[in-house]
Amino acid sequence: MASHGLDYDGCNFFRQRLVLSTLSGKRVKIKNIRSRDDNPGLRDFEASFIRLLDKVTNGSRIEINQTGTVLFYQPGLLNGGSVEHDCNPQRSIGYYLEALLMLAPFMKNSLKATLKGVTNDPVDPTVDLLKSTALPLMKKFGIDGEGFDLKVVKRGMAPGGGGEVLFTCPVRRTIRPVQLTDPGKIKRIRGVAYSVRVSPQMANRIVESTRAVLNQFIPDIYIFTDHMKGANSGKSPGFGLTLVAETLSGSFFSAEMSSTPQGQGDPILPEDLGRNCAKLLLEEIHRGGCVDSPNQSLALLLMTLGQQDVSKVLLGPLSPYTIEFLRHIRDFFQIMFKIEVQKPLEDERKGGDKVLMTCVGVGYSNINKTLK
Amino acid sequence: LNQSSSEICPAFKTYKKRWIWIFFSPVSSSGALRWKDCLQQKASEAFLRQQAAAPNLRKLVYGSVAEAGDSGEDEEEELGGLFRVSRPQKSKKFTANSLDCSRFDPETSHNWDGEEMLNSIRDCFVTGKWEEGQDAA
């Protein structure tokens, strides 16, 4: 079966499948993509994602049928280097970046990607969130050093976009196994309240209402206000907030909210946005673990691709996306995780059940990387 | 009748059918209205029971190995060598074409306005209680 590649149905978990296919070198065929929909086939943002994948690889073969309901993908070598891509504004740059974060360490040349499009929308993890949670997580797996950076050059809110992000990542030959079993206590909360093409006062209003909720727990809160102007402010107005709680052992919990995109649904008051976002952060802290929920799959992938040694990571409840990712890892790499539920102790006030994930890495080494 | 109760506890939904049945059942005895007693408590007990009996996570994620092996044969089942059996869509199929997003938004968020919920995470912060053998230094 493996020689014919893997077969899947439907457009959900699209990125996971293509990313794991690229890393494992296995061909993948996705059928019935919105085949019963009034508007069948791949959407523009998925086509845009495939084009991005084509840019960072060399020799990939992509075949799509006429209606776009069947996709065949034969991965090439991960080349990397300088890449510039206009991300389709139907999804924010976070959608594309999540996949790039997974691929970047395994490229032949270190990646320098300029992504243009929507930097912040309410659907996907925003660039600000990934910058403050995914990057520190990857550093724990030994991916760091000079030129590991994610920078918001221009901010562009949904639906217009017009933002720009610069992502640079060094390459690694092997990934370090990790033991992240103690999340530690939260020592501080940081955040960014951003606003573009609206009154800069919006950001201040967000900050005030957020602090009112979080000050019940900890005094060390600092929320930056970021108001970009002129050419750096994109095409649509909007505002939002990203909150990150940092623990003593260097784990991060995050939450975020963006204003409703212009012309789509009811507008939201900055005060409400701040309060609700603070509550989302509390929810994330309640879930707990050493990795927050949007980054669970990234952590599990790096564990899988680590050297042949035991990796352990404590997570909060597994999200549906992560559960499907685990199944895909089994399909592509034949790795099954040991999953243990840890119930909180009787008198402990540390949120809900946690899940301890254990696996032995496949000993993946980056054959593309040139030896110096 | 049901609006407020379903907010109190998600397990109410599973109980709802039975209640309606009791409500409309022709049998009328002196205890007919006793089912209304401590509904909230019953519902929360049922919910906790369900939580405690949470299936093995590994099974939830990977399914049983045997199941994955023979699922391929079933699909080709034919009736009288002529018709293929059309099966109702499995639950998996419903999610096959939904939104591809890594966000994890719980359907029922906790109520973070209550003191009880706030207290449940107090020790996650440096300002909370420390375990023995550890301290802020």
Residue of B93, B102, B124 lying closest to A185 (CB–CB): B124
The mean per-residue pLDDT over the stretch B42-63 comes to 75
Is B84 within a domain? yes
Cβ proximity of A127 and A93 under 8 Å: yes
Chain A nearest C-alpha distance from B1 (Å) = 30
Distance from CA of B111 to the nearest CA of A (A): 9
The predicted model gives B39-59 an average pLDDT of 74
Q: What is the pLDDT of residue B24?
A: 53
State residue A89's pLDDT score: 94
Nearest CB among B100, B127, B129 relative to A217 is that of: B127
CB contact under 8 A, A33 and B129: no
Partner-chain contact B103 A294, CB within 8 Å: yes
Mutate to test the interface with A, among B64, B101, B127 (most CBs of A within 10 A): B101
Delimit the domains of chain A by residue range. 2-178, 186-287
Higher pLDDT, B50 or B99: B99
Whether B11 is in a domain gets the answer: yes
Cβ atoms of A142 and A365 within 8 Å: the answer is no
CATH, domain A186-287, list 3.30.470.20, 3.30.360.20, 3.40.1050.10, 1.10.730.10: 3.30.360.20
Could A185 and B93 be called an inter-chain contact, meaning their C-beta atoms sit closer than 8 Å?
no
ipTM: 0.85
Whether residue B121 lies inside any domain: the answer is no
Is B52's Cβ below 8 Å from some Cβ in A? no
Better pLDDT: B58 or A110: A110
**Three-state secondary structure call for residue A151:** strand
- Interface touch B61/A321, C-beta < 8 Å: no
Residue B99 inside a domain? The answer is no
Q: Superfamily for A2-178?
A: RNA 3'-terminal phosphate cyclase domain (3.65.10.20)
Reduce the DSSP state of residue A217 to 3 states and report it: coil
- Does residue B126 carry a pLDDT above 50? yes
Residue B63 CB neighbours (<10 A): 12
In DSSP notation, B54-99 reads: PPPHHHHHH--HHHHHHHHHHTT-EETTTEEP-PPPPHHHHHHTS-
pLDDT for position B65: 47
Taking 80 as the threshold, does the pLDDT of residue B32 lie above it? no
Domain containing B65 equals 3-89
Residues of B within 8 A of A43 (CB-CB) are none
Closest CA–CA distance from residue B48 to any residue of chain A (Å): 14
The answer to the question of residue B131 being in a domain is no
Q: Beta-strand (E) ranges in A127-266?
A: 149-154, 163-169, 179-180, 186-196, 221-228, 238-247, 252-258
Residue B130 in domain: no
Chain A neighbors of B129, CB-CB under 8 A: 349
* pLDDT value of residue B52: 59
| Residue of chain B with shortest Cα separation from A253 | B124
pLDDT for residue A74: 95
| Total count of domains within chain B | 1
| pLDDT, one tens digit for every residue, chain A (372 residues) | 445 689 999 999 999 999 999 999 999 999 999 988 889 999 999 999 999 999 999 999 999 999 999 999 999 999 999 999 999 999 999 999 999 999 999 999 999 999 999 999 999 999 999 999 999 999 999 998 889 999 999 999 989 999 999 999 999 989 999 999 999 999 999 999 999 999 999 999 999 999 999 999 999 999 999 999 999 999 999 999 999 999 999 999 999 999 999 888 899 999 999 999 999 999 999 999 999 999 999 999 999 999 999 999 999 999 999 999 999 999 999 999 999 988 888 788 888 889 999 999 999 988 777 665
Give the residue, B70 or A201, on which the prediction is more confident: A201
Nearest CA-CA partner of A53 in A12, A102, A7, A10:
A102
User: Residue B97's pLDDT is what?
Assistant: 85
Could you say which of B95, B123, B127 has the minimum Cβ distance to residue A348? Answer: B123
- Number of alpha carbons in the 13 Å side-chain half-sphere of residue B108: 6
Q: Tell me the per-residue pLDDT of B71-113, one tens digit each, with 9 for 90 and over.
A: 444 445 566 667 766 655 555 555 788 889 998 877 667 889 8
Residue B122 belongs to some domain of the structure = no
From A372, A307, A308, A316, select the one nearest A341 (Cα to Cα). Answer: A316
The DSSP H or E segment spanning A23 is: helix A14-24
What's residue A275's pLDDT?
95
Backbone Cα Rg of chain A: 21
